[in-house]
A and B are shown apart, each in its own frame.
Chain A
Amino acid sequence: AQRVTQPEKLLSVFKGAPVELKCNYSYSGSPELFWYVQYSRQRLQLLLRHISRESIKGFTADLNKGETSFHLKKPFAQEEDSAMYYCALASGTYKYIFGTGTRLKVLA
């Protein structure tokens, strides 16, 4: 079955510390993977997609097909990074699967 797993509901880190938000997926084909961010009471916004291989707001994510993972990383967390983060997979025809999300809290 196709699935996206985000094992941490809440991740708290101190400002300046490295951040890694975990995402594992289950999919037999070649997935399109995304990270979305949702700041407090706002819409979900696309943060990254794996095919673009770019860094947005200091975040990067590498697709590891061997480990079926797409972890989101940032070397130095900032307070404004506090938000809800969703990993998502697009598979086949118009099929989108979201993880349950990880709330990141960056402590001063």
Chain B
Amino acid sequence: NAGVTQTPKFQVLKTGQSMTLQCAQDMNHEYMSWYRQDPGMGLRLIHYSVGAGITDQGEVPNGYNVSRSTTEDFPLRLLSAAPSQTSVYFCASGRNNSPLHFGNGTRLTVT
């Protein structure tokens, strides 16, 4: 049982480049979400999904895109990377009102 798997663990991008952060879960959770973690700001919700084909914006969605074509996968796309997107990104999944399960995080640096 792998839980929530995120790839890559580390990534360095140049300003303007695009990339996709991958997230997969094998617990059949309907809810999946992406957070970014910045010093002093805690966790901020970027996008979330409550099922395949359903996505919605969180607190800080600008510059990010998501899709949910299957229950298992919830990729996060950076359309045109900016230095302000330098952060640690966490994917999480869960069931309604139950604890979230987090991935190991992706450390992204944009130069």
**A29 to B80 Cα, complex, angstroms:** 40
Per the 8 Å Cβ criterion, residues 1-52 of B in contact with A are 31, 33, 35, 40-43, 45, 48, 50
CB-CB < 8 A to B103: which residues of A? 43
A68–B71 Cα distance when bound, in Å, is 35
Q: Is the CB of B31 within 8 A of A34?
A: no
The total number of A-B Cβ pairs within 8 Å is 46
Q: Is A90 among interface residues, defined by CB-CB distance under 8 A?
A: yes
A-B pairs, top 3 by smallest CB distance, nearest first, are A100-B42, A44-B102, A46-B99
Binary per-residue interface labels of chain A (81-108) against chain B in the complex, 1 for a CB within 8 Å, 0 otherwise = 0000010101001101011110000000
Whole-angstrom distance from the CB of A39 to the nearest CB of chain B? 12
Q: Which residues of chain A are within 8 angstroms of B74 by Cβ–Cβ distance?
A: none
Interface residues of chain A, those whose CB is within 8 Å of chain B, are 9, 32, 34, 36, 41-46, 49, 86, 88, 90, 93-94, 96, 98-101
Answer whether residue B104 sits at the interface, using C-beta atoms and an 8 A cutoff: yes
Q: Are B90 and A44 in contact (CB under 8 A)?
A: yes
Q: Which of B42, B90, B96, B102 contacts A93 (CB 8 A)?
A: B96
Would B43 and A49 count as touching, CB distance under 8 A? no
Question: Chain B: interface residue count, which band?
Answer: 20 to 34
A-B contact pairs, 14 of them (CB 8 A): A9-B40, A34-B99, A44-B90, A44-B100, A44-B102, A86-B42, A90-B98, A94-B31, A94-B50, A96-B33, A96-B100, A98-B35, A98-B43, A101-B42
How far is B44's CA from A96's CA once the two chains are assembled, in angstroms? Answer: 11
Residue of A nearest to B107 (CB): A41
**CB of B97 within 8 A of chain A?**
yes
Check B105 for interface membership: any CB of A closer than 8 A: yes
Measured between beta carbons, the chain A residues less than 8 angstroms from B102 are 36, 43-45
* Given A98-B42, A98-B43: A43 touches B90 (CB 8 Å cut-off): yes
Contact B41 A100 (CB under 8 A): yes
* Closest chain A residue to B44, Cβ basis: A98
